[in-house]
Chains A and B, each alone.
Chain A
Amino acid sequence: MHAMHTGKFSRADFTGGTLRGLTGFACVIIIAIVAVIVGNIVYHGIGNLSWEFLSEPPRKHFTEGGIFPAIFGTAALVILMTIAVIPLGVATAIYMHEYASKRSRVVHLVRLAIQNLAGVPAIVFGLFGVGFFIEFVGRGLDRGLYGGALVYGQPAILWAALTMALLTLPTVVVATEEALRAIPQGYREVAYSLGATKWQMIRKVVLPQAAGGILTGGILAVSRGSGEVAPVMFTGAAYALPDLPSRLNDQFMELGYHVYVMSTQAFDVEATKPALYSTVLVLLLLTFSLNFTAIMIRARIRRRLRNGR
């Protein structure tokens, strides 16, 4: 088209071609980076990956055996976190959207704060976890219930789970509110006009419709919960534990924390390298599949909304 201006290849075309080329090259670089990272991890990690690796505890300073305790610990952490975060997060979103006045300034501020809390660094949550949960609440419990003995005033899976729950709370609240907002107001009016109380309306119309969005938020929270290390580093995660966590005040092993410690502090890097890569691969697969599931659910919901089901 620009050839119509001048009969020959002009300087403008050259710049245009360069711009197109450069920006396209940027895309290529990014795609290459992702390919290299994933490829490198898969290549070095897949060899060691086996059912034994996933189901057995480590032996000989992590050069043999498996990472089952880390998987178990991660799962336990995430389950506790979910028990705390889903009811609180969903209730908060329901309160803000269905119960509070739409013109309340306080609610508006709270919503703003929740949305921006997502950008606060994870280590700050870890700091809070240590300073508040362990030192303040934990020691307080110890003084009050156990006469000063060290029971809860130390790193424990309970505190790590609560810290993680605070970290992921905004994710759940935002996802639930998004789902609530997508429900046409007409449904609520119809329910009221047929004699529903507020809770009946929420239970029978709103929650079933919002279920998909809530599920998405939950899965994203779980994905973040299993991948973030900073919040659990000092609130409960540990490196080499003889037993699996069985009580709320036990410490636990965790996949991400395990990767961190193994890669920075293990004394025989070469020998532990295969196990390390495989652990990373497991962590990667876990977060990928969770994210993928959440994306699929979200896409299905969007498609259904567009078709006006």
Chain B
Amino acid sequence: MLNAVGRDIPEEVVKNTNKEIFKGVHYYDGYTYEKKGPKTKCVNRSGGDKLVDSIRDVLFKCGIKDGMTLSFHHHFRDGDYIVNMVMKEVHTLGIKDITICASSLGKAHDLLCDYIEDGTITDIQSSGVRGRVGQAISRGKLKGYAIMRSHGGRVRAIESGEVKIDIAFIGAPTCDDYGNCRGIGGVSNCGVLSYSMVDADYADKVVAITDCLVPFPNFPAHISMTKVDYVVEVDEIGNPEKIATGAAKPTTDMRKLMMADYCTQFVINTPYFKDGFSYQTGVGGASIASTISLAKVMKERDIRMGFGVGGLTKPMCDLLINGQVDCLLDTQDFDLDAVKSVENMKHFRISASEYANPFNKGAIVNKLDFVILATLEVDVNFNCNVVVGSDGVITGAQGGHPDTAAGAKCTVVLTPLLQGRTPAVCNEVTTVTTPGESIDVVITEYGIAINPARQDLIDCMKDVKLPFMTIEELRDIAYSIAGEPQKVAFDERVVGIIEGRDGTIMDVVRQVKI
């Protein structure tokens, strides 16, 4: 069955998942549905606490059994200890057929490969997967499908009841004995707990795991005790050096600086660049450089940003310190400066639902003027791939890519024309993760292509001296240098599903041929 981005989705997959194929970015606008709530066990006894001695004990208290869905969040990034800590105990108990529902999985979770092999884990739902787990999935080791959802799509799936979380595990940098969690104040600070907020709201059982137990009340709580069943204190919830590092040194790579310069010139020549504009950017070198160069122009022209969203890093937080943005809305912090900035009164923590859920009554991404994104591949139809590498192996994550692209008035994708020896601009992406209808402009070091669907932006740029060309011309340059890449050889078996943010099937990922 061909979907709206021209991908042939096998009927068997549609049948097995009971999902629709992707029909367009705003296909579900105006859709009405009923949210599904969690089972909640009341606590109204006087005093007491929610402390449990160990992960093992808390698993028993939560009634762990075969076939359950366990959820995790990824604010600790490559420094996360929580997933492995829990799954080791689950494995030791001989539990099977577990579905992992994580906001993302990375290299910190290579251990899960063993549990995929022995059937402890049979299904994975995540924004994406990096490291050995991605390889294991692409090699067909996982029994079920790996479902890759955007940050907004994950919240939608949970709130709509498509996913039922049995036990949510929340790594809490600080927590009191009654379950009030905060992302700051301990040794493993991650700043915010945005991705886990929906888990706390909708899971039947919620377990807070902390390495910094603090006196009650740990207020203002980022996740309230009203949603937490149990608290477990452990030695370490993560490696602070890998959770939030010092701010990255601004890039000196001329290609990235060129892309950043082009990006800034493009942004400031759109009608959206005016007092009060809104902006989100990623954490790549070119994205960060574009924020830095945009800040200079804002200063020169005395233009203030209304709000910035993210995924935050130092350059965005510097805008707040320098009075160049009214406020920051924060879902995740990538460096220590961003973690520290959470204490600023104008630095607001938001939930992943507020950020990007397409099935709530309006998310922040809908109010974005600009989003600056990266991609692994972009094709001549402006479709982007941010999950599957040029070798066909799952190696990235959707994150908020499709969410922000769908919501922003101007979606800019920055990519070097060649990723190593592989053209990043190509005839057809290996896997579609963000539909081309959401992408407005592609900026490379060689030139800039505006989506022909955005004639308004093309008109704005008529007198702007930037190297504009068509996306086909960009592809031709890439192919003239590196040649047209051969298609990756896949087996027939579908191992992963790229889910659109509305729950439809955007694409499938097949097992790689070895």
A binds B: no
Show the binding face of A for B, using Cβ within 8 Å: none
Show the binding face of B for A, using Cβ within 8 Å: none
